[in-house]
Amino acid sequence: MRARTISSTEFDRLMDPSAATWKQAGAERVKLEGSPLGMQPTALIRAAWQDRKIGAIDRVQIAALHDGERLAFRLEWSDPTENRGNADNVDFPDGVAVLLPAVQGAPIVTMGAPGNAVNAWYWRADDDTNVRHVVAEGIGTSRTVSVEAGLARGAWKEGRWQVVIARALRVETVDPVAQLQAGETTGIGVAIWDGGSGERAGIKSISGLQWRKLSLDALPTARR
Amino acid sequence: MTESKRQLAMVMDLNKCIGCQTCTIACKRLWTRDEGMEYMWWNSVNTQPGRGTPRDWEDMGGGFREGNAVPGKLPTRKDFGDAWEFNHEEVFFGGKGDKVHLKVKGEEPEWGPNWDEDQGAGEYPNAYYFYLPRICNHCTHPACLEACPRKAIVKREEDGIVLIDEDRCRGYRFCMEACPYKKIYFNHVEKVSQKCIFCFPRVEQGVANACARQCPGRVRFLGYRDDKNAPIWKLVDKWKVAIPLHPEYGTDANVFYVPPLAPPRFDENGEIDESNPRIPNEYLVSLFGPKVLESLEILKGEMAKTRAGGKSELLDLLIAYRWKDMFGGFDRDPATIEWKKA
Ligand code: SF4
Ligand code: SF4
C-alpha cells in the first residue's frame, strides 16, 4: 500500500476519522484471516479455541498519509457491536494494531525474533484517544514502550469502526520501534480484535503471515 | 516449567470451621480494599453442599485432564456476587434515618457471595452442612500460569507461592478461564488479574497469613510441605488425613483439608443410627476423591483410641493446644514489625 503525501496543515485535520482530507488517501481494501490456532502460545488457548472461529472481522479498509514528519493510518471496518469495556469479566474491548518491522527482515509470523523487533501501533476501544507502542521480539515478549507524539482517535458509527493512528516518522527512543522516512518502502501488517467474540492477545484477525508492502511517497521536490 | 525448591502449604481442618468469616474479612482489609477490588474475596467460606463462590464454580471447567489443559468458563461479576452498594448516606447522613431503612442501591440482588449460607442438604432430623474455606491453592502445576500467553504469572522458586506480575499482565483473563478453582479475579479498573498472594510480605517476615493467624477456630495450619517439624508434613504425609479439594482437577493443590465428620444419623424411632454416615460418602468423594474415606477412618480410629483412654498425636495436633504450633515457625507477631507501604 501507498502512503501519499499531504501538507502539514492538511495533516493536522487527519485526527478526525471522518475528515474529508482522508478521501485523497486512496484507501485499500485488505482481506483478513484468523491467526492460526497452532501459533497460539499456550495449550489452554489452543484447547479453548480449537472449535471456535478465530478472526471475526474479515476485511478492513486502510489508508495512509504523511507530511514528511508524521504518518497517519486510517482503518475502517464493519463490526455490528461496539465493545469498549472491561466492565465485566466476560467483556473484552475491540482493538486494532498496525505492525511494522523495527528491523528490516524481522519475521512477522512470530511477532519478531530476538534482536529483530517488530513494532505495533496499537489502539483499543477502552482507551480510544491513545496509541500504545508495543515492541516484540517473539511471541509472548511484547512490551509497551513510551513514545512521544503518538496519537489515536476512534469512533464507532452505524456498525463501523473508524480509527486513526498517527505518529512521527522518526522518534527519539532507545527502544526498537520503527523509524521511517519519506520515499522508503517497508513492511506492514494489520491485526483486528473483535472484543464481542472474546478476541484478545493472539486471538485476532490478521492481514496474513507475510508482510504487505508499505511505500511512503517521496516529498514533492519543492518541499524538500 | 520451573519447579520450586520448597513449597509453602496450608491445611484447613473442616471439623473446626465455624463459618465466622474472620479469615475473609482479615484478607479483605489487608489486600482488597482498592478500587476495582470491591467484589474480590481472595478468601471465601461457603456452606457445603452449596453452589459456592463464584456460583456453580465446580461446573466451570479449567485444570487438566490426563495432563491436557481443559477449557474453562469466565465467571461474571454477578456469579461472584458482585459488591453491593448500600444507601449509607441516606440512612446515616440524610436526616431520614427514621423513615429509610438500610438497603442495597439499585437492582435488587439475586445472588451474593454467601447467598446459600447454612442451607446445606438432607432432611430433618438428619440435615447436614459444613463450611469450606477456600483460597488460591498455590498449585504445584498451576493451570493459571500455564495458560498465560505473556508469562505474567510466576511460581516462586523459594516457596512455591504463585503470583501475578501486574506489570506484565494485560488483562487477557486466560488464567481466569484456566483456574479450575476459580480463584482469579479481574480488576476492571486496573485491567489486570489479581488473586491471593499467600500473604507473601508477611510470610517473608516470619508472620503467618492473615487468614490463618486471625482464625478463632484454629482451623488453619501453615508450613513448608517438607518440614517434618511443621504440622503440614505430619497431617498430609505422616498421618494422611489432610487431602486436597478436587484432586481430579490435576493442578496438585497445596491447600489440604481434614474432611468433616458429622454427628450420627437418627432412625425413624429417633434412635442413634451409626450404620450410615450423615454426610453421604458419595458427596465427600465428589469433593475430595476416594481418599477421603481412608482419611475419615483414620480420624475415627484415633478418636476411638482417645475415648478408650489412650493418647493420639494426631488429635493433639488437630486440637492445636498451642496456637503458635500451628504455623510451622511462621509465628512472629506482626505488631513487632514496622510495615511500610511499597
Ligand atoms: S488455585 Fe487457580 S489461581 Fe491458584 S495456583 Fe492453582 S490454578 Fe492458579
Ligand atoms: S476464620 Fe477460621 S473458623 Fe472462621 S470462617 Fe475462616 S477458617 Fe472458618
Spell out the SS3 assignment of B37-69. CCCCCCCEEEEECCCCCCCCHHHCECCEECCEE
Residue B215 lies in a domain: yes
Residue A45 lies in a domain: no
Contact status, residue A119 vs residue A100, Cβ threshold 8 Å: yes
Going by their DSSP bridges, the two strands B265-266 and B272-273 should be labelled as antiparallel
Helix (H) or strand (E) holding B154: strand B153-155
Give the closest of A45, A87, A126 to B149, CB-based: A45
Most B-contacting residue of A37, A44, A92, A193 (CB-CB within 10 A), to test interface: A44
Q: What is the pLDDT of residue A44?
A: 98
- A126 confidence band (pLDDT: 50, 70, 90): very high
State the residue range of the domain holding B228.
8-84+111-336
Contact status, residue A131 vs residue A121, Cβ threshold 8 Å: yes
Q: What is the pLDDT of residue A150?
A: 76
- B236 confidence band (pLDDT: 50, 70, 90): very high
Q: What is the pLDDT of residue B90?
A: 87
pLDDT of A13 strictly over 70: yes
Interface of B with A in 144-183 (CB under 8 A): 146-151, 170-174, 176-178
- B316 confidence band (pLDDT: 50, 70, 90): very high
Residues 6+ apart with CB under 8 A from A141: A111, A112
- A149 confidence band (pLDDT: 50, 70, 90): low
Residue B162 alpha carbon, nearest atom of ligand 1:
5
Interface predicted TM-score of the whole assembly (ipTM), two decimals: 0.94
Q: What is the pLDDT of residue A129?
A: 87
Q: Do A47 and B70 touch (CB under 8 A)?
A: yes
Residue A52 lies in a domain: no
Q: Give the global pTM.
A: 0.95
Tens digit of pLDDT for each residue in A25-53?
A: 999 999 999 999 999 999 999 999 999 99
Q: What is the pLDDT of residue B3?
A: 78
Q: What is the pLDDT of residue A136?
A: 95
Residue A36 lies in a domain: no
Domains: count for chain B: 1
- Nearest Cα residue to atom 8 of ligand 2: B17
Which ligand minimizes its atom distance to the CA of B70?
1
Name which of B76, B42, B38, B70 is nearest B56 in CA terms: B76
Domains: count for chain A: 1
Tens digit of pLDDT for each residue in A74-112?
A: 999 999 999 998 899 999 999 999 999 999 999 999 999
pLDDT of B319 strictly over 70: yes
> Which CATH number fits the domain that encloses residue A26?
2.60.40.1190
pLDDT of B315 strictly over 90: yes
Please report, to the nearest 10 degrees, the dihedral formed by the alpha carbons of residues B82, B88, B90, B95 taken in order. Answer: 170
Residue A42 lies in a domain: no
Tens digit of pLDDT for each residue in B181-193?
A: 999 999 999 999 9
> Which CATH number fits the domain that encloses residue B138?
3.30.70.20
CA A156 from chain center: how many Å?
Answer: 17
pLDDT of A175 strictly over 60: yes
Across residues A151-180, what is the average pLDDT? 95
Report CA-CA distances (Å) from B55 to B135, B175, B197, B254.
16, 18, 23, 23
Radius of gyration of chain B (CA): 21
pLDDT of B169 strictly over 90: yes
Length of chain A equals 224
Contacts of A40 in chain B (CB under 8 A): 149
- How far is Cα B318 from Cα B22, in angstroms, rounded to an integer? 20
Ligand 1 site residues, Cβ closer than 6 angstroms: B 136-139, 142-144, 162, 179, 181, 183-184, 195, 251
Instruction: Dig out the grid coordinates for A137 from the structure.
Output: 521480539
Residues 6+ apart with CB under 8 A from A97: A120, A121, A122, A123, A134, A190, A191
What residue of A is the nearest CA neighbor of B69? Answer: A44
- A122 confidence band (pLDDT: 50, 70, 90): very high
Most A-contacting residue of B66, B148, B167, B174 (CB-CB within 10 A), to test interface: B174
What residue of A is the nearest CA neighbor of B73? Answer: A90
Q: What is the pLDDT of residue B98?
A: 85
Across residues B15-25, what is the average pLDDT? 98
Q: Locate cell 475528515: which residue?
A: A19
- How far is Cα A81 from Cα A79, in angstroms, rounded to an integer? 6
Helix (H) or strand (E) holding B22: helix B22-31
- How far is Cα A55 from Cα A33, in angstroms, rounded to an integer? 6
Across residues A169-180, what is the average pLDDT? 94
pLDDT of B322 strictly over 90: yes
Q: What is the pLDDT of residue A168?
A: 95
Phi, psi of B184 (to 5 degrees): -105, 135
The DSSP 8-state label assigned to residue A108 in this structure reads: T
Please give the distance, rounded to the nearest whole angstrom, from the Cα atom of residue B217 to the centre of ligand 2. 6
Tens digit of pLDDT for each residue in B42-57?
A: 999 999 999 999 999 9
Instruction: Dig out the grid coordinates for B204 from the structure.
Output: 517473608
Q: What is the mean pLDDT of chain A?
A: 94
Residue A41 lies in a domain: no
Residue B220 alpha carbon, nearest atom of ligand 2:
7
Please give the distance, rounded to the nearest whole angstrom, from the Cα atom of residue B44 to the centre of ligand 1. 14
Most A-contacting residue of B55, B139, B172 (CB-CB within 10 A), to test interface: B172
Residue A143 lies in a domain: yes
Residue B167 lies in a domain: yes
A48 part of contact set with chain B, CB < 8 Å: yes
Give the closest of A40, A44, A85 to B71, CB-based: A44
pLDDT of B94 strictly over 80: no
- How far is Cα B143 from Cα B277, in angstroms, rounded to an integer? 35
Please give the distance, rounded to the nearest whole angstrom, from the Cα atom of residue B129 to the centre of ligand 2. 15
Tens digit of pLDDT for each residue in A184-205?
A: 999 999 999 999 999 999 999 9
Name which of B246, B339, B255 is nearest B284 in CA terms: B246
Interface of A with B in 136-165 (CB under 8 A): 139-140, 142
Percent of chain B's residues with pLDDT above 70: 99
Please give the distance, rounded to the nearest whole angstrom, from the Cα atom of residue A29 to the centre of ligand 1. 44
A37 part of contact set with chain B, CB < 8 Å: no
Q: What is the pLDDT of residue A222?
A: 61
- How far is Cα A157 from Cα A78, in angstroms, rounded to an integer? 10
Residue B132 lies in a domain: yes
State the residue range of the domain holding A89.
2-30+57-196+208-223
Query: Does the CB atom of residue B43 touch ligand 2 within 6 A?
Result: no
Across residues B9-21, what is the average pLDDT? 98
Residue A37 lies in a domain: no
Length of chain B equals 342
Q: Locate cell 444419623: which residue?
A: B265
Q: What is the mean pLDDT of chain B?
A: 96
Residue B62 lies in a domain: yes
CB neighbours of residue B280 within 10 Å: 15
What residue of B is the nearest CA neighbor of A199? Answer: B172
Q: Do A88 and B77 touch (CB under 8 A)?
A: yes
Residue A202 lies in a domain: no
- B2 confidence band (pLDDT: 50, 70, 90): low
Please give the distance, rounded to the nearest whole angstrom, from the Cα atom of residue A38 to the centre of ligand 1. 25
Q: In angstroms, what separates the C-alpha of B63 from chain A's closest C-alpha?
A: 9
- How far is Cα B174 from Cα A41, in angstroms, rounded to an integer? 12
What residue of A is the nearest CA neighbor of B178? Answer: A44
